[in-house]
Amino acid sequence: MTREELNKDIHSKVSHERNKENTKQIIKTTVKLLIILFIIGTIFYTYTTYVSTTHIDVREYRVTNEKIPNNFNGYKIIQMSDLHYGSTMFDKDLKKIVNLINERKPDLVVYTGDLINKDYNLDSKEQEKIINNLKNITSTTGKYAILGDEDNEKIATIFNQSDFTILRDEYELIYNSKDNPILLVGLGSSKKGQNIDKAYSYYKEPTHNSNIYSVTLLHEPDAVDDIVGSYNSDLFLAGHSHNGNIRIPFAKYSFFKVDGAKKYDQDYYEINNSKLYISSGLGTKNSFRLFCRPSINFFRLSNK
């Protein structure tokens, strides 16, 4: 074998070994990347499905309006919404929610729709547990609920047996120790039809107070546009949107908009002279959340 042939053979062997090493290195790098992606994916899935969906926030707000009577200064309202029991919320979670509420000693507790996940088969034992939990919620002036688009008469029975008063396009005067009440209006789901005129029939009463402070319970927040301008309501409390389930931090943007909450899906809006607060809900329809934890809303009223 000539020197040139020998050098060529050596070069070929060296090149072959180098290619083998490069291939091994590419395989190792690819495997590492796949492992890293798998770990990141697992962490992301675990956080969005099991952590972010069960860590419950209490969002606190001070609501100020000169129309609020002096006897309602410091009055505490807690709003619950969209438990969707059977999705990511179960008995132990509901017990925790009840404790969070009772620790704050609310004067009024309101529920703004969608109690049980529509695909969940609720058995009689679980139903009894839900009733007992909701019954354990304490308040000084009452517990009220409206029905959401996924609620039916079975849900109405649960609320009734839990000492909640259901407002079906109705109003209630809420008194707090003295004669000056506030007005509580409850509207049913806009997807099932609403009788807005009936709900606000207080304003047609001969003895009505046109300057009364009013709170309206809605399920779908977009329904507020059908009310503002025709009837006065100082404070709207709504649910349904879950604030989009996935939000971008420090940005007013959410990824999942649903019918009935496509215009209003964030946590707060000012519309004319009205304030609209939208709960992020407690359960979830999609079984995941990101930067949008489940919450209860805690309001303190003040006229100063």
Same-domain status, 153 and 250: yes
Tokens representing 303? 């006229």
Same-domain status, 188 and 83: yes
Same-domain status, 235 and 265: yes
Residue 7: closest CA among 22, 15, 20, 19? 15
Of the two residues 147 and 15, the one the predictor is more confident about is: 147
> Which pLDDT score, from 0 to 100, does residue 213 have?
98
- The band of 256, judged by pLDDT with boundaries at 50, 70 and 90, is confident
Of the two residues 29 and 173, the one the predictor is more confident about is: 173
Q: What is the dihedral of CA 101, 130, 183, 227, to 10 degrees?
A: 110
Distance between CA 227 and CA 218 in Å, rounded? 11
Tokens representing 152? 């039916």
Q: Are 189 and 148 in contact (CB under 8 A)?
A: yes
Q: Which helix (H) or strand (E) holds 143?
A: strand 143-146
Tell me: pLDDT of 41 over 60: no
Same-domain status, 97 and 179: yes
Tell me: pLDDT of 289 over 80: no
Q: For residue range 176-224, what is the model confidence (pLDDT) as tens digits?
A: 988 899 999 999 898 898 999 999 999 999 999 999 999 999 999 999 9
Same-domain status, 149 and 44: no
Q: Which domain holds residue 10?
A: 1-51
Question: With 0-12 CB in 10 A as exposed, 13-18 as middle and 19+ as buried, what is 296?
Answer: buried
Give the CA angle between residues 273, 277, 282 to the nearest 5°: 170
Same-domain status, 18 and 101: no
SS3 156: helix
Same-domain status, 123 and 169: yes
Same-domain status, 23 and 96: no
Q: For residue range 140-168, what is the model confidence (pLDDT) as tens digits?
A: 999 999 999 999 999 999 999 999 999 99
Distance between CA 299 and CA 78 in Å, rounded? 6
User: For the chain, what percent of residues have pLDDT higher than 70?
Assistant: 84
| Cβ partners under 8 Å of residue 35, min gap 6 | none
| b/e sequence 164-192, b meaning 16+ C-beta within 10 Å | bebbebbbbebebeeeebbbbbbbbbbee
Look at the chain and report how many structural domains it folds into. Answer: 2
Distance between CA 92 and CA 3 in Å, rounded? 82
> What string of DSSP letters covers 36-58?
HHHHHHHHHHHIIIIITTT--EE
Q: Please state the rounded mean pLDDT for residues 8-18.
A: 62
> Which pLDDT score, from 0 to 100, does residue 43 have?
46
Cα 148 to Cα 79, 114, 186, 200, 213, distances in angstroms = 14, 5, 11, 19, 24
Distance between CA 246 and CA 287 in Å, rounded? 11
Q: For residue range 100-153, what is the model confidence (pLDDT) as tens digits?
A: 999 999 999 999 999 999 889 999 999 999 999 999 999 999 999 999 999 999
Same-domain status, 111 and 230: yes
Same-domain status, 135 and 192: yes
Tell me whether strands 76-80 and 108-112 are parallel, antiparallel or unpaired: parallel
Tell me: pLDDT of 249 over 80: no
- The band of 23, judged by pLDDT with boundaries at 50, 70 and 90, is confident
Q: Which residue has the tokens 């215009």?
A: 263
User: For the chain, what percent of residues have pLDDT higher than 90?
Assistant: 67
pTM tops 0.75: yes
Distance between CA 214 and CA 5 in Å, rounded? 98
Same-domain status, 287 and 158: yes
Q: What is the biggest distance separating any 2 CA atoms in the chain, rounded to whole angstroms?
A: 118
Same-domain status, 4 and 145: no
